[in-house]
Copies of this chain bind each other. A is one copy, B any other.
Amino acid sequence: MCRWMGYRGQPLPIETLLYKTKHSLIEQSRHARLGVETFNGDGFGVGWYTDASDTPGVYRSLMPAWGDHNLQSLAAHVVSPLFLAHVRATTGTPVQNTNCHPFRYENWLFVHNGAIENFHDLRRELVLAIDPSLYNVMEGSTDSETMFCLALTFGLRDDPITALERMAGFVEETGRRHGVAHPLQMSLGVSDGERLFAVRYSSTRQSRTLFTSAEPQTLRALYPGHELVEIIQDEDRAVVSEPLGDLPGVWTEVPEATVLTIQDGPDEQRAFQPRSPALAGAA
Contacts and interface: CB of A to CB of B under 8 A. Distances in A.
B64 A52 contact: no
Contact of A48 (B41, B58, B70, B77): B77
Given A13-B52, A78-B78, A138-B141, A67 B38 contact: no
A96 B96 contact: yes
Contacts of A66: 40
Contacts of A58: 69-70, 73
Given A69-B94, A76-B55, A62 B64 contact: yes
A95 B132 CA distance: 23
A86 interface: no
Contact of A98 (B13, B61, B96): B96
A116 to B, nearest CB: 13
A123 B135 contact: yes
Given A63-B62, A141-B139, A124 B120 contact: no
A255 interface: no
B76 A69 contact: no
Contacts of A132: 124
Interface of A: 13, 29-31, 38, 40-42, 48, 50, 52-53, 55, 57-64, 66-70, 73-74, 76-79, 90, 93-98, 120, 123-124, 128, 132, 135-136, 138-141
28 contacts: A13-B52, A30-B38, A41-B64, A50-B77, A52-B78, A53-B76, A53-B77, A55-B76, A57-B77, A59-B73, A59-B74, A60-B69, A60-B70, A62-B63, A64-B95, A68-B95, A74-B74, A74-B78, A94-B139, A96-B96, A96-B97, A120-B136, A123-B135, A123-B136, A124-B136, A128-B128, A138-B141, A140-B141
Q: Which 6 pairs between the two chains have the least Cβ-Cβ distance?
A: A67-B95, A57-B73, A124-B135, A57-B77, A53-B76, A59-B70
